[in-house]
Amino acid sequence: MEISDWINVILCILSFILAAISVITVVITLKQNNKMIENSTRPYIVVYGRVTNFQNPTYYLVVKNMGQTGAEITKFVCDIDLKNIHIQQI
């Protein structure tokens, strides 16, 4: 083999290695972008309480979606019994 043949073989090997590295980099970047898009558009359900004090105090439990896409609540579990919550009048 001549020197030009060795140079061609080395260049072929180097271009294959660079192409493989490029493909791996693209796959990793696409996975990261997919996670970022999923996290930015997912629904965030927030639960908080509100009290109205017009004539007699009333406690409202507010369930609100703060995310950018719709959410479906299939189950609601609470550690305390909500029937036993009493509002103290001041």
Predicted confidence (pLDDT) per residue in 17-60, tens digit: 999 999 999 999 999 999 999 888 888 888 888 888 777 777 78
31 with 50, same domain: the answer is no
Instruction: Give the sign of the dihedral formed by CA 34, CA 37, CA 41, CA 46.
Output: positive
Query: Model-level pTM?
Result: 0.54
Pairing of strands 58-65, 45-52: antiparallel
Q: Which of 39, 49, 48 is nearest to 69 (CA)?
A: 39
With left for phi above 0 and alpha for psi between -120 and 50, is residue 50 left, alpha or beta? beta
d(CA 13, CA 68): 48
Q: pLDDT-based confidence at 87, cuts 50/70/90? A: low
- Mean of pLDDT values over 4-14: 93
28 with 14, same domain: the answer is yes
The conformation of residue 54, written as its DSSP 8-state character, comes to S
26 with 49, same domain: the answer is no
Average predicted confidence (pLDDT) for the chain: 86
Out of 24, 41, 58, a domain closes at: 41
- For position 90, what pLDDT does the model report? 45
Residue 90 lies in a domain: no
